[in-house]
Chain A
């Protein structure tokens, strides 16, 4: 799947921004990302000076801390050809929101803008930048895909995961109703407004269950943990995984929040 031109030239050097949730809760997604990016013909690096993209501070109105965190991320990653994150919301933070943090500071603004151009969400990076058409994975069973909000509406990630999933041998995609409606996670929203978040995720898991799929996939671990937690609470048998795990053919680990009842 690697183009000839790619082989001839130097392999693109990719900095993997694992995201804090993947680092802490689900390293499997990190390794699946590494495999997918390497298979696409790139070298992967994981700078140790990464923690979080800063969204919790940014969305709480704490611009000063957000900016410090953004500087740290830019310094750690700006040397790579590409920066890839297995999360639509974190990738969008790097790509769409970082430059605005430096408005009025010409030097940093320029640096942040150049950096932002290199940043991509994992699946769209594979499909749109590396032109991957088939990841060569297989899976027995049916899947349904939830469009996480930031990836969908800020980065236009919609068809890419569906096209790649369509090539996964044995996987049958069953669309749920309202796949593009928020799951109610919203970062700190889900604990600050837990009653409302619960009402939203309740509708979501009803749609997931009604799709009849065996497995729920999405591209953002926050949303996945929210939906998995609710599915398990209501006793659903649907397994929950990050889409990267399926695309990489790495579904040997227990699903998010475990399986079964």
Chain B
């Protein structure tokens, strides 16, 4: 997708007046938060599990090279193939080569943010191969020519009536008089349409929630079972995953699984958790003839050893955006990047560079709710602040903000001057505020007074009044 992160403000302003979107966003706020809370409350060891999950990933990141090699060995031993892709372009080329080699005309896809990151669908389409998204949400946005607005609920920005009209527009072979008033009728219609596509597909492409070094297994979690059909019905199964998805053992996987679904949707477990190790063996009743894993770096190894390394613990549960007041206000598309919300505000600059994405880490109140709910205990606000530091070092912020800040810092570092000016200014401002004690508008304060009144100062500063009070007290001299 086209990166429009630096138009975040304009995107956001549009989103704020989009009535359909605002209605849909109400569901994010109401749905996810209470469910996560309920499931976290029901598990006394939830916080201890979060610590464990964090420690597992920290250990992996400290020894990533070793675990990646061990993983590759196991995949190969099971009859699969590992392909190393340094860039998005490499990954696209590898996947296309596999598809071409087996003469694929259509591929089915399980939900995968990584294939969004490498813009795989556009690439396949441009080369005459039709990608078919099989996750309901992904299917809907594919019909609409959109991109996911949320990492686990790609179509969360839409309302049911919008989906109904899309289905009527596209599924013209079905009875025009059919009843689609219930959400479940939309689901069964999508199933019906997609079912035929599975059997026609030559290749199934999925992402991975985990890659297990101990066994060479890739794991996906879904609620619709579409991923299983995608990876077992095609002749070839291609897993596209980024390098930090590695975990050492099956045991580690189950530890992290215990916090993943709870944080994401409030489920104890997702409906389907599917483990794939290599292609179909002679004794297996089904499975693909070929099993490929495309391991994508795309800037991640460069994050190791930097202040952004912790971001590589992310398991893409979406809790940070589900709890983010900015995300609630503007939705995922406003971020103008593949990954929205707080995790996107940290990850996108790592992947795409801060020059093109500086708006994202700035668009946060630092309320800290994302970090408070992140199952992997990723210090998201701290890392957003680090991005602001990188921007500041390189003078990337707007000149007005920079000079304003410097002028303020000049006084903040000179208490005497500061007291002098504050002591002169505040009483005047206070008088200007008059009996209402507030301003509806004030020069230079337009950013504030556009939407709210500015409280007037009470009068003399605290320092002035305190000094007067002390001088009246003889013993305090």
Q: Which residues of A come within 8 Å of B, CB atoms?
A: 18, 20, 22-28, 30-31, 46, 48-52, 54, 56-63, 65, 68-69, 72, 149-150, 153-154, 181-182, 184-201, 225-226, 228-230, 232-233, 253-259
| 26 interchain pairs, CB-CB under 8 A | A18-B462, A22-B462, A23-B462, A23-B463, A25-B426, A26-B455, A27-B459, A30-B462, A50-B415, A63-B389, A65-B405, A65-B413, A153-B367, A182-B325, A182-B369, A187-B366, A189-B365, A192-B447, A193-B12, A193-B326, A195-B12, A197-B451, A198-B452, A228-B453, A230-B451, A255-B437
**Which of B179-187, B247-255, B390-398 is found at the contact surface with chain A?**
B390-398
By a CB distance below 8 angstroms, the chain B residues around A51 are: 411-413, 415, 418
A196 near B453: Cβ-Cβ < 8 Å: no
> B302 in the interface, Cβ–Cβ < 8 Å?
no
B466 near A46: Cβ-Cβ < 8 Å: yes
Compute how far the CA of A76 lies from the CA of B397 in the bound complex, rounded to whole angstroms.
Answer: 32
A23 near B422: Cβ-Cβ < 8 Å: yes
Compute how far the CA of A112 lies from the CA of B64 in the bound complex, rounded to whole angstroms.
Answer: 35
Q: Which chain B residue has the least Cβ–Cβ distance from A261?
A: B436
A185 near B365: Cβ-Cβ < 8 Å: yes
B453 near A233: Cβ-Cβ < 8 Å: yes
Query: Which residues, 446 to 477 on B, are CB-close (under 8 Å) to A?
Result: 447-463, 465-467
A195 near B368: Cβ-Cβ < 8 Å: no
B13, B393, B419: which contacts A195 (Cβ < 8 A)?
B13
**Chain A: interface secondary structure?**
helix
Question: A-B contact count, CB below 8 Å?
Answer: 210
A72 near B453: Cβ-Cβ < 8 Å: no
By a CB distance below 8 angstroms, the chain A residues around B409 are: 56-57, 62, 65, 68-69
Compute how far the CA of A253 lies from the CA of B465 in the bound complex, rounded to whole angstroms.
Answer: 15
Q: Which residues of B come within 8 Å of A, CB atoms?
A: 9, 12-13, 16, 325-326, 328-330, 362-369, 371-372, 385, 387-393, 397, 401, 405-406, 408-409, 411-413, 415, 418-419, 422, 426, 435-438, 440, 447-463, 465-467
A59 near B422: Cβ-Cβ < 8 Å: no
For the complex formed, measure the closest distance between the CB of B439 and the CB atoms of chain A, giving whole angstroms: 9
A60, A181, A193, A255: which contacts B397 (Cβ < 8 A)?
A60
B458 near A28: Cβ-Cβ < 8 Å: yes
For the complex formed, measure the closest distance between the CB of A251 and the CB atoms of chain B, giving whole angstroms: 13
By a CB distance below 8 angstroms, the chain B residues around A184 are: 325, 365
For the complex formed, measure the closest distance between the CB of A198 and the CB atoms of chain B, giving whole angstroms: 4
A68 near B413: Cβ-Cβ < 8 Å: yes
Compute how far the CA of A181 lies from the CA of B454 in the bound complex, rounded to whole angstroms.
Answer: 22
